[in-house]
Amino acid sequence: MSVPTETSRSAALYERATKVLPGGVSRNTVLRDPHPAYADHGLGCRLTDIEGVTRIDFSNNMASLIHGHADPDIVRAVSEQLTKGSAFTMATEVEVQYAELLCRRNPAFEKVRFVNSGTEAIMVALKASRAFTGRAKIAKVEGAYHGGYDYAEVSQAPTPETWGEIDRPKSVPLAHGTPETALGDVVILPFNDPERAISILDEHAEDLACVLLDLMPHRVGLRPADEAFVKAIRDWTSKHGTLLVLDEVITFRTEYGGLQTRYGITPDLTALGKMIGGGFPVGAVVGRAEVMDVLNPRAAKLLFPHSGTFSANPISMTAGMIAVEKFDEPGIARLNALAERAMTGIKEAIEQTGVSACVTGGGAMFRVHMKDRPPRNFREAYLTADENRRLMTLLDHMFDEGMLLINTCTATLSTPMTEIEIDALVSAYARGFEKLVSMG
């Protein structure tokens, strides 16, 4: 397959980009060596770059495109709305319709507040938790990604040199200059370790506004949380008047009412984003009406004033409502079955080639690790220098084979995909594993 070179259009475009964008990009996830590939157009589950190379898109804009590119139903509805206007200083009927649709998906979703991104949804959920409880601290899992808010990004990327003892993980800043006060208000928990987690929570019982939890955190290893761990957290929060906030920005795509429905728990708040925008910027906080009403501007005492210029704009609402309506229970079951087919094929390829690797995931997403056993937490998922080298080799191989993955070798599926694309992915992985084995 033809790939961009130092003299390609992409190289020239990147040279221009470095003069006006820090590092030549607006988001670090698109960087590749020696330069990013630049998209020209996408259709269904395929993406074509400006060099004319078409790849099967298993990244789907970081899991946000559940129906792939240029879905005709979404394009039609958005095009019609564009002729009427893109944003108003007025409420719209479609935001009410969409809120009603989301509330029907899960009985835990009693009220909705729309925002503009997953990061903002997490931010609003944490601030709402503080407003409701009158407490300042939050607890979160070590290594879990929850967007760019100071408190949410603490210990997102700790290292063996900084993460401290497993019995009491340290709060490690991600960005240089993070205030010490922010670090002090974030309690770090080990994933899938209920005994240690509860012991840590007990030390902060009177100060915690919420526990923030992703039930299958990507950067922690994309392994579903153990039921015992989730139950222990839910029981502890209920006992101590602490809110449970679930981050389903990515995992809502796994089940009709979100991944939480597999666990039979009812969180106080849930943050949504990505796929619920139908390809447009969106976020939402949903949850218990009593908690959500801290945002109610008609309350006798408004505890959390909140607004946003593009919140609930009719473009995102229209696209999102179509995307969620189309992602019905039969469609979810079909996509999850395709993911299971992929994971089974990848496991067989690992066994046949003898490569040191494993695969984790759930729903319509999965991740390949350069480890013999599936990691149970962030520390086990952490890549050594050699593992990272092998992962980058595999990622480059998959890119050259026409497979676009998230840069952790993670794949997310979209509804235009069939067994043909899945089997092509598995075959490409098998050849990649053979290459790694031959390299030693």
271 and 293 in a common domain? yes
Q: Give the C-alpha separation, 17 to 87, whole Å.
A: 30
361 and 269 in a common domain? no
116 and 230 in a common domain? yes
Q: What is the pLDDT of residue 362?
A: 96
Whether residue 4 has a cis bond before it, omega within 30° of 0: no
45 and 83 in a common domain? no
Chosen domain end from 296, 326, 356: 326
Chosen domain end from 283, 302, 326: 326
For residue 387, give the CATH number of its domain. Answer: 3.90.1150.10
Q: Which domain holds residue 274?
A: 72-326
Ranges assigned E (strand) in 267-317? 269-273, 283-287
Residue 428 inside a domain? The answer is yes
377 and 367 in a common domain? yes
Q: Give the C-alpha separation, 248 to 263, whole Å.
A: 13
Question: In sequence order, what are the residues at sequence separation of 6 or more whose Cβ sits closer than 8 angstroms to the Cβ of residue 184?
Answer: 171
What's the pTM?
Answer: 0.96
Half-sphere exposure for 263 (CA within 13 Å, toward CB):
26
362 and 257 in a common domain? no
Residue 14 inside a domain? The answer is no
Neighbours of 203 (CB within 10 A): 11
Residue 250 inside a domain? The answer is yes
Residue 10 inside a domain? The answer is no
- The 8-class DSSP code of residue 23 comes to G
435 and 412 in a common domain? yes
Number of helices and strands (H, E) in the chain? 14, 14
The pairing of beta strand 46-49 with beta strand 186-189: unpaired
Structure tokens, 110: 């009693």
175 and 144 in a common domain? yes
Virtual torsion, Cα 205, 209, 214, 218, nearest 10 deg: -100
Q: For residue 231, report the phi and psi dihedrals to the nearest 5 degrees.
A: -60, -40
Residue 11 inside a domain? The answer is no
48 and 133 in a common domain? no
429 and 348 in a common domain? yes
pLDDT (tens place) for every residue of the chain, 440 residues total: 444 456 799 999 999 999 999 999 999 999 999 999 999 999 999 999 999 999 999 999 999 999 999 999 999 999 999 999 999 999 999 999 999 999 999 999 999 999 999 999 999 999 999 999 999 999 999 999 999 999 999 999 999 999 999 999 999 999 999 999 999 999 999 999 999 999 999 999 999 999 999 999 999 999 999 999 999 999 999 999 999 999 999 999 999 999 999 999 999 999 999 999 999 999 999 999 999 999 999 999 999 999 999 999 999 999 999 999 999 999 999 999 999 999 999 999 999 999 999 999 999 999 999 999 999 999 999 999 999 999 999 999 999 999 999 999 999 999 999 999 999 999 999 999 999 999 97
Report the number of distinct structural domains present in the chain.
2
Please state, in angstroms and as integers, the Cα–Cα distance from residue 385 to each residue in 158, 197, 380, following that order.
15, 29, 14
For residue 173, give the CATH number of its domain. Answer: 3.40.640.10
Chosen domain end from 326, 347, 374: 326
Residue 13 inside a domain? The answer is no
Residue 420 inside a domain? The answer is yes
Residue 29 inside a domain? The answer is no
290 and 179 in a common domain? yes
341 and 232 in a common domain? no
Q: What is the pLDDT of residue 440?
A: 77
Q: Give the C-alpha separation, 163 to 165, whole Å.
A: 7
Q: Are 240 and 264 in contact (CB under 8 A)?
A: no
